Amino acid sequence: MKKTIPDIELMERGHQACLGCGAAHAMRYLLKGLGPKTIAAIPACCWAVIPGVYPYSCMDVPLQYVAFETTGASISGIEAALRAKGKKEGTTVVGWAGDGGTLDIGIQALSGAVERGHDVKYVCYDNEAYMNTGIQRSSATPFGAWTTTTPVGTTKAWKLSPKKNIVEIMVAHDIPYACTASVAYPEDLIKKAQKMKDITGPCFMHIYAPCPTGWKYPPEKTIELARLATDTCIFPLYEVTNGKYRITKRIKDEKKKDVLDYLRMQGRFKSLDEGAIQSIRDHVDFEWARLLRKEECFGEEQ
């Protein structure tokens, strides 16, 4: 059997994730990339439950469960203590949080940690809402999505504001490395994780992790949907190394899929009208064009 990703499994069987959980893929791949010499901190999120109840855990790396808004501060503390103890060399400290724990309640601690320049890796697995509490909107929920707090109703009260761009916020902190990754492209994700491990200093990874339960699609479609998000340019894969942009999954114009293919697969977008769909299409095209320009102007050859 052909294996295009490392054999090592640091996330064990028996975890409690839902069927087809993209966040489970994300953790499996990340740990393959970071390896066993990793210490993780996980706040309130689906992954506070997935490892299993006490005294059991699916994690084969040390893990501290931390308070919702403290991931950035907690990994700062772990890193500082490892340095104080002379144990930092060769150990990777990673914060692993959901979109709510990263883009909303945890953004202050994250900003503080990367600004101070700790040698920490922060990974946000993004399922575009508060999924562990039952699908409430976060600032990572895209325009047009149904959630339990944007319930559409008769007034088309879907999420009205656009998704916050966390990678650009991280780039604005002038950190050595920030990137996006997707569970549909594990080789790319793992390569980026390995890159982060080798960089000294704060790094950020934003993983696209579809949620069948919250997005209302059948669990077997997780990878297909994630692939489509990248192929439609809704979630482009790129990395920013010392301010230099590089798109890691190039989508040629003729291969670019229409956003409708992506939207139609999910119950959370089923109420959208033509106008809303067109505005999503326009927004995606604008953002993709902007990313291409960034790469052109601030690419690695510049």
Partner 1 sequence: MSGKELRCYEDLPPSPVTHDSSLVFKTGSWRTMRPVISKEKCKLCGFCWKFCPDVSIFEDSEGYPAVDYDYCKGCGICANECPFDAITMLEEDAI
Partner 2 sequence: MKLVLSGNEAAAYGAMLARAEVISAYPITPQTKIVEKIADLIADGRFKTEFIKVESEHSAMAACISASLVGARTFTATSSQGLLLMHEMLHWASGSRTPVVMVNINRAVAPPWSVWADQTDSIAQRDTGWIQYYCESCQEVVDTIMQAYRVCEDPRVLLPAMLSEDAFFLSHTSEIVDLPPQEELDAFLGTYEPDVRLDIDNPRSFGSLSMPHQWYPEFRYKIQEGMEHAVEAIERVDREYGSLFGRSYGGLLDLYRCEDADTVIVAAGSMCSTIRAAIEELRSEGVKVGMARIRVFRPFPTEAFRALAKDVRSLVVLDRSFSMGSEGAFFSEVKAALYPLSDRPDVRGFAVGIGGRDITIETIRSIITDSLRPDTGITAQKWVGLRRCEE
Size, binding site for partner 1 by CB under 8 A: 37
Q: Which does 291 bind (CB under 5 to 8 A by kind): partner 2, partner 1, none?
A: none
For the segment 49-68, give every residue that binds partner 2 (CB under 8 A).
49, 51-57, 59-67
Q: H or E segment at 228?
A: helix 222-231
Residues whose CB is less than 8 angstroms from the CB of residue 290 and which lie 6 or more positions away in sequence, other chains included? none
65 phi, psi to nearest 5 deg? -80, 130
205 is in the binding site of which of partner 2, partner 1, none (Cβ under 5 to 8 A by kind)? Answer: none
Q: Return the range that interacts with partner 2 (CB under 8 A); candidates 22-30, 72-80, 136-144, 232-240.
A: 72-80
Side-chain half-sphere of 191: how many Cα atoms within 13 Å? Answer: 13
The smaller minimum CB distance to partner 2, of residues 16 and 271, is found at: 16
Given a contact cutoff of 8 angstroms between Cβ atoms, the answer to whether 135 and 152 are in contact is no
d(CA 6, CA 237): 21
Interface residue with partner 1 among 12, 104, 258, 287 (CB under 8 A) is 12
19 binds, among partner 2, partner 1, none (CB under 5 to 8 A by kind): partner 1
- CB 216 → partner 2: shortest distance, Å? 26
Question: Which stretches within 85-174 are classed as H helix?
Answer: 99, 107-116, 166-171
Work out the angle at residue 92's Cα, subtended by the Cα atoms of residues 86 and 97, and round it to the nearest 5 degrees: 130
Binding mask 115-134 for partner 2 (x = CB under 8 A): xx------------------
Per DSSP, the three-state class of 93 is: strand
Task: Pick one of partner 2, partner 1, none as the site partner of residue 218 (Cβ within 5 to 8 A by kind).
Answer: partner 1
109, 131, 145, 207: residue in contact with partner 2 (rule CB under 8 A):
109
Q: Looking at 91, 149, 248, 279, which residue binds partner 2 (CB under 8 A)?
A: 91
| Whether 96 contacts 196, CB under 8 Å | no
Chain mean position to CA 1:
29
Q: How far is the CB of 16 from partner 2 (least distance, A)?
A: 9
| Angle, vertex CA 199, rays to CA 81 and CA 59, nearest 5 | 60
User: Which of partner 2, partner 1, none sits in contact with 275, Cβ below 5 to 8 A by type?
Assistant: none
Binding mask 50-89 for partner 1 (x = CB under 8 A): -xx-xxxxx-x-----------------------------
β-pairing verdict for 238-241 and 244-247: antiparallel
Tokens of 192: 């980026």
> Which of the ranges 37-45, 132-140, 212-220, 271-279 carries the binding residues for partner 1, by CB under 8 A?
212-220
| 267 token code pair | 């119950």
Among 8, 9, 19, 112, binds partner 2 (CB under 8 A): 112
Q: Tokens 């950035």 correspond to what residue?
A: 72
With CB under 5 to 8 Å by kind, the binding choice for 4 among partner 2, partner 1, none is partner 1
- Give, rounded to a whole angstrom, the gap between the first and last alpha carbons of the chain: 41
* Segment interacting with partner 2, rule: CB under 8 A, options 37-45, 150-158, 164-172, 262-270: 37-45
Interface residues toward partner 1, by CB under 8 A = 1-5, 9, 11-17, 19-22, 24-25, 28, 51-52, 54-58, 60, 186, 212, 218-224
